[in-house]
């Protein structure tokens, strides 16, 4: 099982971050941080990073600045 | 009923009276604006006896609204020459509210050079006390000494030697809740110099024995709305990178999008931005015993603050924020996060604005005074400032002073105040805010990042900036803008709280009008201070040089800026 912002998605072998985001109906823009298992992925890339069963993805949109 | 505390530094007298009725429904930015337009001559010399140093809490101070305890500090800015409201988190506003004080006004200038501190004790008595033993001390030392003297149930607001020297970029540093570190900065606009001109070194507020109880018109109405708002903010904060990481997370967005300033706003991308971004920051925190998810004031649910330790695991700095990292980092071509943290510590300790000083360092590099990317040389210049050498004194007066002294043509200031960590060519709404905000180049007045790449044309960017400036004006009257960012889906709750607190209708216009009136009052003050449309403009190079990263230039014309506030 993969989690995307708490939403559970079925894990499939070979799944990438982009696949999980698509399954979860999420399409992060260039102002949203994507964190995979506690590590931030570079912004705005195709998110082809592989996933393992149990991975957790968090989307953190920038809402302010400081 | 709330109190107003007035201090006369010429006669060394203090008086406490009920808050004027006309300020009853105001706080923070809105209170500063309305107080100043009536009481501070706009054409006065900012360091003269006619200027006043003003401290106040927000409209909802004393209630359970999360982040309502921001401390606003105001006066005529020694840097911009216009109205200035600078706010900070920390513990002071909480304790001021518990003391029942909404507004503190410091007037006049002492007849001699004696230094003082304002002390509000646990019984609620306010006094001016001799601060000669603290003269020349910087903020960490003075915070520690005041803690030792008065115990740990205090909050402090202090100036370092920068404020005593009247540097135009000097800050007031507020002690952080829980740690007592003087790391929450009311940084912009040189109000530290205003405090220094009053020969006031510090404010010490003790936790009162009997905290003030806020009087409600309809307590149930207020509490219902407040609970809903707090829940909304807490829910939003769960997925806010400011809570998960800290404001430094913004580096990873601006760095990828060409918004991060690089090499004095050259418009280039900085390939090593991740060296000063979220992953590096979190890795350093984890391996060195630092912490994020810290509240700088009691009851904050956003918790964006942090404690950053050095390589040995010893405390180095806290409140280590995006602006400081962006501007001492990539804008100076520096990618050493630890060196930048040391710069943050020096600036907090001395009491200067990291935004202006970091921009000044970048200008030094462009002028060839020190090499690009040389962190050691940059630290050397900050140490000169701490020592008060000839160049150090120029540096303490900020980016424009340094640029002019070195003959630099590209000086990134508006109304003499340095620009924040967002290249305005790639976030044009923010650029419009920089140009037109009465505060000078102030990103917190209306940051439109996120809309830069929407192809909605120039008119939309101006519209965005106007809306944001109004919103930030009422946000800065009520709470921390980071918490406010999570409330936009239900602004009516603020109207319910206004009605619950003061009575009357729960009308959203009552809330938004606070923002509009503040903004227009500030513009009126600046106009009377002598500012014109020429001051509402970015430096020329943003109009003529294209961003190398995106090809964009700041193409908003003067007419669009001129009509921005015709509403």
Given A42, A43, A58, which is nearest B239 (Cβ)? A58
Residues of B in contact with A64 (CB under 8 A): 242, 447, 481-482, 485
- pLDDT (0 to 100) of residue B561: 87
Q: Please indicate whether, in this complex, the C-beta atoms of A31 and B323 are within 8 angstroms of each other.
A: no
Given B239, B304, B444, which is nearest A5 (Cβ)? B239
Q: Which long-range contacts (CB under 8 A, 24 or more apart) does B539-543 make?
A: B539/B410, B539/B411, B539/B412, B539/B413, B539/B414, B541/B265, B541/B409, B541/B410, B542/B265, B542/B424, B542/B425, B542/B431
Between vectors from CA A28 to CA A22 and to CA A33, what angle results, nearest 5°?
Answer: 125
Domain boundaries, chain B: 3-206, 241-422, 424-485+505-567
- pLDDT (0 to 100) of residue B559: 86
Interface residue B287 vs chain A (CB under 8 A): no
Q: Please indicate whether, in this complex, the C-beta atoms of B253 and A5 are within 8 angstroms of each other.
A: no
N- to C-terminal Cα separation, chain B: 35
Q: Please indicate whether, in this complex, the C-beta atoms of B256 and A60 are within 8 angstroms of each other.
A: no
- Residue in B294, B349, B311 with CA at minimum distance from that of residue B171: B349
Residues of chain B above pLDDT 90, percent: 92
Q: Please indicate whether, in this complex, the C-beta atoms of B252 and A35 are within 8 angstroms of each other.
A: no
Confidence of residue B395 (pLDDT cuts 50, 70, 90): very high
Specify the pTM: 0.96
Measured distance CA(B301)–CA(B305) in Å, rounded: 11
Q: What is the architecture, at CATH level 2, of domain B3-206?
A: 4-Layer Sandwich (3.60)
- Read off the pLDDT of each residue in B531-551 and give the average, rounded to a whole number: 95
3-state SS, B35-96, equals HHHHHCCCCCCCCCCCCCEEEECCCCCCCCCCCCCCEEEEEECCCCCCEEEEEECCCHHHHH
Beta-bridge mates of residue B352: B170
pLDDT digits (tens, 9 = 90+) for B48-72: 999 999 999 999 999 999 999 999 9
Confidence of residue B454 (pLDDT cuts 50, 70, 90): low
Q: Is A66 a member of any domain?
A: no
Is the predicted pLDDT of residue A29 greater than 90, yes or no? no
- pLDDT (0 to 100) of residue B453: 46
Is the predicted pLDDT of residue B455 greater than 60, yes or no? no
Between B215-219, B258-262, B450-454, B471-475, the lowest mean confidence (pLDDT) is in B450-454
- The answer to whether residues B411 and B399 touch, using CB atoms and an 8 Å cutoff, is yes
- pLDDT (0 to 100) of residue A46: 84
- pLDDT (0 to 100) of residue B462: 85
Query: What are the tokens at B76?
Result: 């005529």
**Fold adopted by B424-485+505-567:** 1.10.599
3-state secondary structure of B546: coil
Residue with tokens 């918490």: B483
Between vectors from CA B502 to CA B499 and to CA B506, what angle results, nearest 5°?
Answer: 15
The whole-angstrom distance between B18's CA and the closest CA on chain A is 35
Query: B422: nearest CA in chain A?
Result: A65
Buried-exposed string B69-82: b where 16+ CB fall within 10 A, e elsewhere = bbbbbbbbbbbbbb
Tally the domains of chain A: 1
Interface residue A26 vs chain B (CB under 8 A): no
Given A35, A58, A65, which is nearest B449 (Cβ)? A65
| B111-to-A64, B15, B87, B135 alpha-carbon distances in Å | 45, 19, 29, 17
- pLDDT (0 to 100) of residue B377: 98
Confidence of residue B451 (pLDDT cuts 50, 70, 90): low
Is the predicted pLDDT of residue B276 greater than 70, yes or no? yes
pLDDT digits (tens, 9 = 90+) for B481-517: 999 999 989 999 999 999 999 999 999 999 999 999 9
Is the predicted pLDDT of residue B463 greater than 90, yes or no? no
Residues of A in contact with B242 (CB under 8 A): 64, 66
Is the predicted pLDDT of residue A65 greater than 80, yes or no? no
Measured distance CA(B4)–CA(B62) in Å, rounded: 15
Q: Which CATH class is domain B241-422?
A: mainly alpha
Measured distance CA(B471)–CA(B486) in Å, rounded: 13
- Read off the pLDDT of each residue in B439-458 and give the average, rounded to a whole number: 75
Is the predicted pLDDT of residue B391 greater than 70, yes or no? yes
Confidence of residue A61 (pLDDT cuts 50, 70, 90): confident
Measured distance CA(B76)–CA(B189) in Å, rounded: 9
> What Rg value do the Cα atoms of chain B yield, rounded?
22
Looking at every residue in chain B, the average pLDDT score rounds to 96
Given A29, A43, A59, which is nearest B252 (Cβ)? A43
10 Å Cβ neighbour count for B373?
16
Q: Is A63 a member of any domain?
A: no
Residue with tokens 């401390």: B71
- Read off the pLDDT of each residue in B150-160 and give the average, rounded to a whole number: 96
* Complex prediction ipTM: 0.89
> What Rg value do the Cα atoms of chain A yield, rounded?
11
pLDDT digits (tens, 9 = 90+) for B357-375: 999 999 999 999 999 999 9
Q: Is A58 a member of any domain?
A: no
- The answer to whether residues B539 and B425 touch, using CB atoms and an 8 Å cutoff, is no
Query: What are the tokens at B75?
Result: 């006066």
Q: Please indicate whether, in this complex, the C-beta atoms of A44 and B256 are within 8 angstroms of each other.
A: yes
Measured distance CA(B444)–CA(B481) in Å, rounded: 8
Q: Is A41 a member of any domain?
A: yes
Confidence of residue B461 (pLDDT cuts 50, 70, 90): confident
Interface contacts A/B by beta carbons within 8 Å: 80
pLDDT digits (tens, 9 = 90+) for B90-118: 999 999 999 999 999 999 999 999 999 99
B419 vs B454, more confident? B419
- Residue in A13, B247, A27 with CA at minimum distance from that of residue A4: A27
CA B443 vs. chain centroid, Å, equals 10
Confidence of residue B557 (pLDDT cuts 50, 70, 90): confident
Residues of B in contact with A38 (CB under 8 A): 282
Q: Write the CB contacts of B261 (distance below 8 Å, at least 6 apart in sequence).
A: B326, B327, B330, B331, B412, B419, B421, B422, B423
Given A35, A58, A66, which is nearest B323 (Cβ)? A66
- The answer to whether residues B2 and B61 touch, using CB atoms and an 8 Å cutoff, is no
Measured distance CA(B501)–CA(B507) in Å, rounded: 13
Rama region for B264: left / alpha / beta (φ>0; ψ in -120 to 50; rest):
left
10 Å Cβ neighbour count for B115?
18
Cβ neighbourhood burial of B111 (10 Å; 0-12, 13-18, 19+): exposed
pLDDT digits (tens, 9 = 90+) for B525-540: 999 999 999 999 999 9
Q: Domain residues for A46?
A: 2-51
- Read off the pLDDT of each residue in B217-243 and give the average, rounded to a whole number: 96
């Amino acid at each position: 099982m993969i989690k995307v912002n708490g939403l559970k998605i079925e894990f499939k072998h070979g799944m990438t971050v982009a696949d999980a985001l698509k399954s979860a109906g999420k399409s992060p823009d260039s102002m949203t941080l994507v964190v995979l298992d506690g590590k931030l992925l570079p912004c705005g890339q195709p998110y082809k990073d592989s996933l393992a069963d149990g991975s957790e993805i968090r989307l953190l949109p920038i809402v302010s600045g400081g | 009923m709330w109190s107003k505390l007035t201090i006369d530094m010429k006669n060394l007298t203090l008086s406490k009276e009920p808050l004027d009725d006309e300020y009853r429904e105001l706080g923070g930015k809105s209170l500063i604006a309305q107080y100043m337009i009536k009481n501070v001559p706009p054409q006065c010399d900012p360091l003269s006896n006619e200027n006043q140093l003003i401290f106040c809490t927000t409209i909802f101070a004393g209630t359970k609204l999360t982040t309502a305890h921001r401390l606003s500090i105001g006066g005529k800015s020694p840097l911009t020459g216009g109205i200035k409201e600078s706010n900070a988190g920390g513990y002071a506003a909480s304790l001021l509210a518990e003391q029942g004080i909404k507004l503190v006004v410091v007037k006049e200038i002492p007849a001699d050079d004696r230094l003082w501190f304002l002390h509000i004790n646990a019984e609620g008595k306010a006094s001016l006390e001799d601060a000669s033993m603290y003269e020349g001390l910087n903020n960490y030392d003075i915070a520690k000494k005041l803690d030792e003297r008065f115990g740990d149930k205090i909050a402090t607001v202090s100036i370092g030697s920068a404020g005593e020297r009247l540097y135009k970029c000097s800050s007031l540093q507020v002690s952080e809740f829980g740690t007592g570190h003087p790391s929450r900065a009311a940084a912009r606009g040189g109000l530290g110099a205003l405090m220094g001109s009053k020969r006031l070194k510090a404010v010490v507020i003790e936790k009162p024995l009997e905290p003030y109880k806020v009087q409600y018109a309809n307590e149930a109405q207020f509490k219902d709305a407040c609970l809903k708002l707090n829940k909304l903010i807490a829910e939003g904060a769960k997925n806010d990178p400011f809570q998960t990481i800290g404001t430094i997370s913004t580096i990873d967005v601006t760095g990828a999008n060409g918004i991060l300033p690089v090499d004095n706003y050259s418009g280039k991308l900085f390939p090593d931005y991740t060296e000063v971004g979220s992953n590096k920051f979190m890795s350093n925190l984890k391996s060195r015993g630092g912490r994020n998810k810290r509240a700088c004031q009691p009851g904050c649910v956003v918790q964006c603050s942090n404690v950053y330790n050095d390589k040995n695991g010893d405390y180095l700095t806290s409140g280590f924020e995006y602006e400081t990292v962006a501007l001492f980092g990539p804008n100076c071509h520096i990618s050493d996060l630890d060196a930048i943290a040391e710069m943050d510590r020096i600036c907090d300790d001395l009491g200067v604005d990291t935004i202006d000083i970091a921009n000044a360092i970048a200008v030094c590099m462009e002028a060839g005074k020190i090499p690009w990317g040389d962190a050691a040389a940059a630290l050397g210049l900050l140490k000169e400032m701490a020592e008060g050498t000839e160049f150090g004194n120029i540096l303490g007066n900020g980016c424009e002073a340094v640029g002019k002294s070195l003959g630099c043509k590209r000086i990134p200031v508006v109304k003499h105040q340095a620009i924040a960590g967002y290249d305005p060519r790639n976030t044009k709404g923010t650029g419009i805010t920089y140009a037109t905000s009465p505060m000078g180049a102030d990103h917190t007045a209306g940051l439109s990042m996120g809309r830069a790449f929407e192809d909605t044309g120039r008119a939309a960017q101006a519209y965005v900036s106007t809306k944001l400036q109004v919103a930030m004006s009422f946000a800065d009257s009520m709470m921390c803008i980071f918490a406010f960012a999570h409330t936009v889906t239900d602004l009516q709750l603020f109207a319910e709280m206004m009605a619950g607190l003061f009575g009357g209708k729960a009308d959203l216009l009552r809330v938004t009008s606070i923002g509009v009136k503040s903004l227009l009052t500030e513009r009126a003050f600046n106009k009377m201070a002598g500012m014109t449309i020429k001051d509402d403009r970015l430096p020329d190079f943003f109009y003529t040089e294209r961003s190398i990263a995106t090809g964009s230039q700041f193409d908003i014309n003067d007419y669009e800026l001129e009509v921005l506030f015709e509403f």
